[in-house]
Protein backbone atom coordinates (compact mmCIF):
# COMPACT_ATOMS: atom_id res chain seq x y z
CA UNK A 1 0.00 0.00 0.00
CA UNK A 2 1.04 3.62 -0.39
CA UNK A 3 4.02 4.16 1.86
CA UNK A 4 2.15 6.82 3.86
CA UNK A 5 -1.39 5.45 3.53
CA UNK A 6 -1.87 3.75 6.87
CA UNK A 7 -0.37 6.64 8.83
CA UNK A 8 -2.41 9.17 6.86
CA UNK A 9 -5.67 7.40 7.63
CA UNK A 10 -4.75 7.02 11.30
CA UNK A 11 -4.10 10.75 11.57
CA UNK A 12 -7.41 11.44 9.85
CA UNK A 13 -9.29 9.24 12.30
CA UNK A 14 -7.58 10.94 15.24
CA UNK A 15 -9.01 14.27 14.13
CA UNK A 16 -5.76 15.87 13.00
CA UNK A 17 -6.06 18.68 10.46
CA UNK A 18 -4.35 17.64 7.23
CA UNK A 19 -3.01 20.08 4.65
CA UNK A 20 -2.61 19.48 0.95
CA UNK A 21 -2.45 21.07 -2.46
CA UNK A 22 -3.47 20.24 -6.03
CA UNK A 23 -1.41 18.67 -8.80
CA UNK A 24 -2.59 18.86 -12.40
CA UNK A 25 0.66 19.16 -14.39
CA UNK A 26 2.28 16.02 -15.75
CA UNK A 27 5.99 16.76 -15.23
CA UNK A 28 7.38 14.67 -12.36
CA UNK A 29 9.78 17.46 -11.47
CA UNK A 30 6.81 19.66 -10.53
CA UNK A 31 5.41 16.94 -8.25
CA UNK A 32 8.84 16.37 -6.71
CA UNK A 33 9.28 20.07 -5.97
CA UNK A 34 5.83 20.27 -4.37
CA UNK A 35 6.64 17.14 -2.38
CA UNK A 36 9.63 18.85 -0.79
CA UNK A 37 7.52 21.35 1.16
CA UNK A 38 5.91 19.36 3.95
CA UNK A 39 2.35 18.90 2.71
CA UNK A 40 0.49 16.00 4.28
CA UNK A 41 -0.88 15.00 0.89
CA UNK A 42 -1.32 16.09 -2.70
CA UNK A 43 -4.62 15.98 -4.57
CA UNK A 44 -3.86 14.64 -8.05
CA UNK A 45 -6.65 15.63 -10.40
CA UNK A 46 -7.73 13.33 -13.21
CA UNK A 47 -11.19 14.87 -13.49
CA UNK A 48 -10.34 18.25 -15.00
CA UNK A 49 -6.73 17.76 -16.12
CA UNK A 50 -5.10 16.13 -19.15
CA UNK A 51 -3.14 13.62 -17.05
CA UNK A 52 -3.04 10.11 -18.48
CA UNK A 53 -2.66 6.85 -16.54
CA UNK A 54 1.11 6.59 -16.95
CA UNK A 55 1.57 10.15 -15.75
CA UNK A 56 -0.70 9.49 -12.77
CA UNK A 57 1.34 6.42 -11.88
CA UNK A 58 4.59 8.42 -11.97
CA UNK A 59 3.19 11.28 -9.90
CA UNK A 60 1.88 8.87 -7.25
CA UNK A 61 5.22 7.22 -6.59
CA UNK A 62 7.09 10.53 -6.89
CA UNK A 63 5.15 12.21 -4.08
CA UNK A 64 5.05 9.04 -1.96
CA UNK A 65 8.85 8.88 -2.18
CA UNK A 66 8.81 12.23 -0.38
CA UNK A 67 6.61 10.87 2.42
CA UNK A 68 3.54 12.68 1.08
CA UNK A 69 0.22 10.88 0.66
CA UNK A 70 -1.16 10.69 -2.87
CA UNK A 71 -4.91 11.23 -3.25
CA UNK A 72 -6.34 10.85 -6.76
CA UNK A 73 -9.63 12.32 -7.92
CA UNK A 74 -11.21 10.16 -10.60
CA UNK A 75 -13.52 11.67 -13.24
CA UNK A 76 -16.70 9.87 -12.13
CA UNK A 77 -18.07 6.91 -10.22
CA UNK A 78 -17.26 4.22 -12.78
CA UNK A 79 -15.32 0.97 -12.32
CA UNK A 80 -13.19 1.37 -15.44
CA UNK A 81 -12.13 4.90 -14.44
CA UNK A 82 -11.02 3.85 -10.96
CA UNK A 83 -9.72 0.30 -11.31
CA UNK A 84 -6.32 1.01 -12.86
CA UNK A 85 -5.76 3.93 -10.49
CA UNK A 86 -6.42 1.71 -7.47
CA UNK A 87 -3.83 -0.76 -8.74
CA UNK A 88 -1.28 2.10 -8.81
CA UNK A 89 -1.38 2.17 -5.00
CA UNK A 90 -2.64 5.67 -4.15
CA UNK A 91 -3.22 6.54 -0.49
CA UNK A 92 -6.71 7.78 -1.25
CA UNK A 93 -9.31 8.07 -3.98
CA UNK A 94 -11.86 10.87 -4.44
CA UNK A 95 -15.14 10.39 -6.32
CA UNK A 96 -16.75 13.64 -7.58
CA UNK A 97 -20.42 14.45 -8.19
CA UNK A 98 -21.82 11.81 -5.85
CA UNK A 99 -25.43 12.73 -5.15
CA UNK A 100 -27.19 9.68 -3.72
CA UNK A 101 -26.63 6.88 -1.25
CA UNK A 102 -26.60 4.44 -4.17
CA UNK A 103 -23.81 6.32 -5.95
CA UNK A 104 -21.70 6.48 -2.79
CA UNK A 105 -22.29 2.79 -2.13
CA UNK A 106 -21.13 2.04 -5.68
CA UNK A 107 -17.97 4.08 -5.05
CA UNK A 108 -17.20 2.07 -1.91
CA UNK A 109 -17.91 -1.20 -3.74
CA UNK A 110 -15.39 -0.24 -6.42
CA UNK A 111 -12.67 0.11 -3.77
CA UNK A 112 -13.25 -2.97 -1.61
CA UNK A 113 -12.97 -6.68 -2.30
CA UNK A 114 -15.81 -9.15 -1.79
CA UNK A 115 -17.63 -9.99 0.35
CA UNK A 116 -17.56 -6.35 1.49
CA UNK A 117 -17.38 -4.76 -1.96
CA UNK A 118 -17.15 -5.70 -5.62
CA UNK A 119 -13.56 -4.86 -6.55
CA UNK A 120 -12.00 -7.19 -9.11
CA UNK A 121 -8.66 -8.68 -8.12
CA UNK A 122 -5.50 -7.71 -10.00
CA UNK A 123 -3.31 -5.34 -7.97
CA UNK A 124 0.14 -4.59 -9.41
CA UNK A 125 2.09 -1.87 -7.62
CA UNK A 126 -0.45 -2.08 -4.82
CA UNK A 127 0.95 -5.52 -3.94
CA UNK A 128 4.59 -4.50 -4.46
CA UNK A 129 4.43 -6.15 -7.87
CA UNK A 130 3.55 -9.52 -6.35
CA UNK A 131 5.96 -9.51 -3.41
CA UNK A 132 3.40 -8.66 -0.75
CA UNK A 133 1.40 -11.62 0.63
CA UNK A 134 -1.99 -11.74 -1.03
CA UNK A 135 -4.24 -11.97 2.04
CA UNK A 136 -2.15 -9.46 3.97
CA UNK A 137 -2.96 -6.94 1.25
CA UNK A 138 -6.63 -7.91 0.91
CA UNK A 139 -7.23 -7.79 4.67
CA UNK A 140 -5.54 -4.42 5.12
CA UNK A 141 -6.98 -2.48 2.19
CA UNK A 142 -9.70 -0.72 4.18
CA UNK A 143 -7.23 0.34 6.89
CA UNK A 144 -4.90 1.86 4.30
CA UNK A 145 -6.97 3.32 1.48
CA UNK A 146 -8.88 6.55 2.16
CA UNK A 147 -12.17 6.68 0.26
CA UNK A 148 -13.79 10.07 -0.25
CA UNK A 149 -16.81 11.42 -2.10
CA UNK A 150 -17.53 15.01 -3.03
CA UNK A 151 -20.65 16.95 -2.06
CA UNK A 152 -21.11 19.32 -5.01
CA UNK A 153 -24.82 19.42 -5.84
CA UNK A 154 -28.07 20.38 -4.11
CA UNK A 155 -29.18 16.77 -4.53
CA UNK A 156 -26.16 15.57 -2.52
CA UNK A 157 -26.86 18.18 0.15
CA UNK A 158 -30.47 17.03 0.42
CA UNK A 159 -29.39 13.38 0.56
CA UNK A 160 -26.56 13.99 3.01
CA UNK A 161 -27.97 11.90 5.86
CA UNK A 162 -28.31 8.89 3.56
CA UNK A 163 -24.84 9.44 2.10
CA UNK A 164 -23.24 9.61 5.54
CA UNK A 165 -24.84 6.29 6.46
CA UNK A 166 -22.77 4.38 3.88
CA UNK A 167 -20.23 2.07 5.51
CA UNK A 168 -16.50 2.42 4.81
CA UNK A 169 -16.80 6.06 3.76
CA UNK A 170 -13.73 7.89 5.10
CA UNK A 171 -14.73 11.46 4.38
CA UNK A 172 -16.75 13.90 2.30
CA UNK A 173 -15.17 16.76 0.38
CA UNK A 174 -16.98 20.02 -0.31
CA UNK A 175 -17.03 21.25 -3.90
CA UNK A 176 -17.71 24.93 -3.16
CA UNK A 177 -18.03 26.34 -6.68
CA UNK A 178 -20.30 23.63 -8.08
CA UNK A 179 -22.29 23.62 -4.85
CA UNK A 180 -22.87 27.39 -5.06
CA UNK A 181 -24.22 27.08 -8.60
CA UNK A 182 -26.46 24.17 -7.71
CA UNK A 183 -27.77 25.82 -4.54
CA UNK A 184 -28.84 28.94 -6.46
CA UNK A 185 -26.11 31.45 -5.59
CA UNK A 186 -23.55 30.90 -8.38
CA UNK A 187 -19.97 31.81 -7.56
CA UNK A 188 -20.81 33.07 -4.07
CA UNK A 189 -18.45 30.61 -2.42
CA UNK A 190 -17.76 32.88 0.56
CA UNK A 191 -21.28 34.22 1.18
CA UNK A 192 -23.25 33.82 4.41
CA UNK A 193 -25.56 31.39 2.62
CA UNK A 194 -22.62 29.24 1.57
CA UNK A 195 -21.13 29.34 5.06
CA UNK A 196 -24.41 28.08 6.51
CA UNK A 197 -24.43 25.23 3.96
CA UNK A 198 -20.85 24.23 4.79
CA UNK A 199 -21.44 24.35 8.54
CA UNK A 200 -24.56 22.21 8.20
CA UNK A 201 -22.58 19.60 6.25
CA UNK A 202 -19.74 19.64 8.80
CA UNK A 203 -22.13 19.34 11.75
CA UNK A 204 -24.02 16.41 10.23
CA UNK A 205 -20.84 14.64 9.17
CA UNK A 206 -19.14 15.20 12.53
CA UNK A 207 -22.13 13.68 14.30
CA UNK A 208 -21.53 10.53 12.21
CA UNK A 209 -17.77 10.61 12.76
CA UNK A 210 -17.10 11.41 9.10
CA UNK A 211 -14.33 13.97 8.39
CA UNK A 212 -15.04 16.85 6.00
CA UNK A 213 -12.61 18.44 3.57
CA UNK A 214 -12.62 21.21 1.01
CA UNK A 215 -10.83 22.03 -2.24
CA UNK A 216 -10.19 25.64 -3.29
CA UNK A 217 -7.73 27.61 -5.40
CA UNK A 218 -7.40 30.53 -2.95
CA UNK A 219 -4.21 30.62 -0.88
CA UNK A 220 -4.45 33.88 1.10
CA UNK A 221 -4.96 33.94 4.85
CA UNK A 222 -8.36 35.67 4.76
CA UNK A 223 -9.94 33.01 2.57
CA UNK A 224 -8.31 30.19 4.51
CA UNK A 225 -9.53 31.70 7.81
CA UNK A 226 -13.04 31.48 6.41
CA UNK A 227 -12.59 27.74 5.95
CA UNK A 228 -11.13 27.35 9.42
CA UNK A 229 -14.39 28.71 10.80
CA UNK A 230 -16.39 26.00 9.01
CA UNK A 231 -14.62 23.23 10.92
CA UNK A 232 -13.22 21.34 7.91
CA UNK A 233 -10.43 18.84 8.64
CA UNK A 234 -8.95 18.14 5.19
CA UNK A 235 -7.73 21.43 3.70
CA UNK A 236 -6.69 21.49 0.03
CA UNK A 237 -5.57 24.87 -1.29
CA UNK A 238 -3.68 26.25 -4.27
CA UNK A 239 -1.78 24.04 -6.65
CA UNK A 240 1.07 23.70 -9.11
CA UNK A 241 -0.35 26.12 -11.69
CA UNK A 242 -1.22 28.64 -8.95
CA UNK A 243 2.35 28.51 -7.60
CA UNK A 244 3.77 29.24 -11.06
CA UNK A 245 1.31 32.08 -11.65
CA UNK A 246 2.01 33.60 -8.24
CA UNK A 247 5.78 33.35 -8.62
CA UNK A 248 5.76 34.76 -12.14
CA UNK A 249 3.46 37.65 -11.19
CA UNK A 250 5.61 38.51 -8.17
CA UNK A 251 8.83 38.43 -10.17
CA UNK A 252 7.66 40.61 -13.05
CA UNK A 253 6.25 43.14 -10.59
CA UNK A 254 9.57 43.20 -8.71
CA UNK A 255 11.62 43.52 -11.89
CA UNK A 256 9.56 46.45 -13.12
CA UNK A 257 9.79 48.12 -9.73
CA UNK A 258 13.56 47.68 -9.33
CA UNK A 259 14.45 48.66 -12.88
CA UNK A 260 11.92 51.45 -13.34
Half-sphere exposure of 75 (CA within 13 A, CB side): 13
51-102 pLDDT per residue, tens:
999 999 999 999 999 999 999 999 999 999 999 999 999 999 999 999 999 9
Q: For residues 126 and 89, what is the distance between their CA atoms, to the nearest angstrom?
A: 4
Say if CB 211 and CB 233 are below 8 A apart.
yes
Q: Does the pTM exceed 0.85?
A: yes
Q: For residues 35 and 68, what is the distance between their CA atoms, to the nearest angstrom?
A: 6
- Domains by residue range for the chain, with CATH: 5-258 (3.20.20.60)
The pLDDT assigned to 3 comes to 53
Report how many helices (DSSP H) and strands (DSSP E) the chain contains, helices first. 12, 8
Name the 3-class secondary structure at 57: helix
Mean pLDDT, all residues of the chain: 94
25-52 pLDDT per residue, tens:
999 999 999 999 999 999 999 999 999 9
Under the banding of pLDDT at 50, 70 and 90, the label for residue 142 is confident
205-256 pLDDT per residue, tens:
999 999 999 999 999 999 999 999 899 999 999 999 999 999 999 999 999 9
Say if CB 74 and CB 85 are below 8 A apart.
yes
Q: For residues 234 and 74, what is the distance between their CA atoms, to the nearest angstrom?
A: 18
Q: For residues 85 and 28, what is the distance between their CA atoms, to the nearest angstrom?
A: 17
The pLDDT assigned to 1 comes to 45
Amino acid sequence: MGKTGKDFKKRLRQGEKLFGTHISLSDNSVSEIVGNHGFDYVWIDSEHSALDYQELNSIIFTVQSKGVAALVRVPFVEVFLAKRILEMDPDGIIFPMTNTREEVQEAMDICLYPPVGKRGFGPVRAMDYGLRPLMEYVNSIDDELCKYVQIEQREAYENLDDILSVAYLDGVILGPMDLSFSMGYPGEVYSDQSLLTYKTIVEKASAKGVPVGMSVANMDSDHLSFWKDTGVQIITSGGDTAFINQGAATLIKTLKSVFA
